[in-house]
Amino acid sequence: MEHKTQIINFDSHRIGVQFEQKKGRAALTNASGRFERLSRHQIDDGWDGADDADSAFDAPQKLKTQVQVERPKRIITRNQSPDISFDRSINPYRGCEHGCSYCFARPSHAFMGLSPGQDFESRLFAKPDAAQLLEQELADPKYVPRVIALGTNTDPYQPIEKHWRITRSILEVMERTNHPVGIVTKSAMVQRDIDILARMAKKGLVKVALSVTTLDRELSRKMEPRAATPEKRLETLQALHNAGIPTAMMVAPIIPGLNDSEIEKILDAGRAVGVSQAGYVMLRLPNEVKDIFRQWLLTHYPDRYRHVMSLVKSMHGGKDYDAKWGKRMSGQGPYAWMVGRRFEKACERAGIGKRHIELRTDLFQKPAKQSDQLSLFDMAS
C-alpha cells in the first residue's frame, strides 16, 4: 500500500489531499458522496509502517471487487435529453470496474450512499432480473419500439459480465423480439456475443460503438486501468466488421492537452478496421468527478495540470463543467470550436460518418405475456 500526501492548488485554495494508490484502480480517494451527513477522510497515523508482530494483520488489504444484487422494478430507463440520440437505455450494472478516472457516471454512486471514488470501481451492483424485466416491459400493449441504448452509464461488458452474463441475456430477448439495440463499450468481451449480434445485424437491428480514447497504451492504462487496451479495441472493431456488424467509434472523452492531439490518428485507425460512423464527447466533470480527475491528473501528469484545467475552464465559461443541454458534451468557445472543426475534417478525410446507421423497428414482435401462454395451453387441452 502506498500512501501519499500532496498539497493541491484548486483555484487558489490549498487543499491537503491524502490518498492511497491501489493497483488497477484509477481513483486515488474514496471520499464520501455529496448526500452523506458525515464525511470520511483518509489519514496516515504512522502505524502502517510499524515494525511489530501485529503489523501484518493490521495492514490494509488489497481492494477487491464486491458485487451486490440489485432488483429494480423496471429495467428500461427513459430520458428526454435533446442532445442525445436515444430516449431509452438499459444499464445491466451500477458502478464500473473499468475505473476510468474521468467517468461522468461516478456521481451516481452517491445515490447508493457510496463514494464516487474507489467505491464506484469496486463496489458494484448487478441486475440479474434484467432480461425478465425487459421481456415484461416489451410485452406492454402500449410499448412502441425504438432503439434501446445498452451501456450508456456504465459498461455492459465490464469484467464482471464474464460471470454474470446479464448483457448476453438481454441480447437474447432483443433477438427473440427483433428489437433494435445500440451498444457502447470499451471492452473486447463484446466479441463473445458476435453470434447473436451477427444474426441481428442481418436484419438491421444492431450497431456497436467502441470508445477509443487514446492509442497510447501507457496513457490508457493510467486513465482506464481495467478497460481493454487500444490495440484490443481496434481488433474488436475489426472482428465485428468482418462479421457484418455495423460499427462506430467514439473518441470520448477528448481531454484538452492530454489526448486531443490524437484525434486524427484515432479516426484513421478506426477507418482501417471498418468503422463507418464516429462521434466525440468533450471531457465532462460533474459533481465529484472534478476532484477525482484533478487528483488523478496532478498525480500522473503534474506538468500538464494547469494547462489542461485552463483549457477545460475555457470551454465552460470559467467553470470546470457546464451541465446545460447542448453545451455539456461539446463545450463552447474558441478551443471547443477548433476541436469540432478538426473532428469534422478528420472524419471527412477518412471517409467516416457519411452514412448514419439507421436500425429497423418494423420487425418488432411483442413477447407473449404469461397469461397469453396459459390461455393457449388451456385451448390445446
Given phi > 0 = left and psi -120 to 50 = alpha, else beta, which region is 151? left
Take residue 339 and report the three cell numbers written for it: 476541436
170: phi then psi, degrees, rounded to nearest 5: -65, -45
Give percent of the chain above pLDDT 70: 84
For residue 265, tell me if it sits in a domain: yes
147, 180 in Cβ contact below 8 A?
yes
Residue pair 151/91 in contact (Cβ under 8 Å)? The answer is: yes
Give me the domain span that covers residue 157: 78-95+128-372
DSSP strand pairing (148-150 vs 66-69):
unpaired
Do the domain assignments include residue 141? yes
The one-letter code for the residue type at 6 is Q
Q: Residue 260 domain-assigned?
A: yes
Element (H, E) at 254: strand 247-254
Q: Which of 63, 131, 69 minimizes the C-alpha distance to 97?
A: 63
Give the Cα separation of 208 and 249 in Å (integer). 8
What per-residue confidence (pLDDT) applies to 3?
A: 41
β-bridge pairing 88-90 and 123-126: unpaired
71 in any annotated domain:
no
Cell numbers for 38, please give them.
458525515
Q: Which residues of 299-322 are buried (b: 16+ CB within 10 A; e: fewer)?
A: bbeeeebeebbebbbbbbeeebbb
How many Cβ atoms sit within 10 Å of the Cβ of residue 140?
A: 10
d(CA 67, CA 124): 5
pLDDT in tens, 49-59: 555 444 444 44
Q: How far, in Å, CA of 169 to CA of 186, rounded?
A: 19
Residue 134 lies in a domain: yes
CATH number at residue 212: 3.80.30.30
Helix (H) or strand (E) holding 209: strand 206-211
Tally of domains within the chain: 1
Q: What is the band of 28 on the pLDDT scale with cuts at 50, 70, 90?
A: confident
CA distances from 279 to 236, 275, 333 (A): 18, 11, 19
User: DSSP letters along 263-292, please?
Assistant: HHHHHHHHHHTT--EEEEEE----TTHHHH
Residue 117 lies in a domain: no
Q: Where are the beta strands (DSSP E) in 129-189?
A: 148-150, 181-185
Mean pLDDT to the nearest integer, 36-54: 57
Residue 300 lies in a domain: yes
Locate 242 and state its grid cell.
468482418
**Residue 311 binned pLDDT confidence (cut-offs 50, 70, 90):** very high
**Other CB atoms within 10 Å distance of the CB of residue 132:** 12
- Give me 186's grid cell: 470499451
Higher confidence at residue 24 or residue 4? 24
- Mean of the pLDDT values across residues 306-329? 93
pLDDT in tens, 335-359: 999 999 999 999 999 999 756 789 9
173 vs 139: CA distance, rounded Å = 11
Q: Is residue 279 part of a domain?
A: yes
**Nearest-angstrom CA–CA distance, 285 and 308:** 13
pLDDT band at 325; cut points 50, 70, 90: confident
Cα 379–chain centre separation? 48
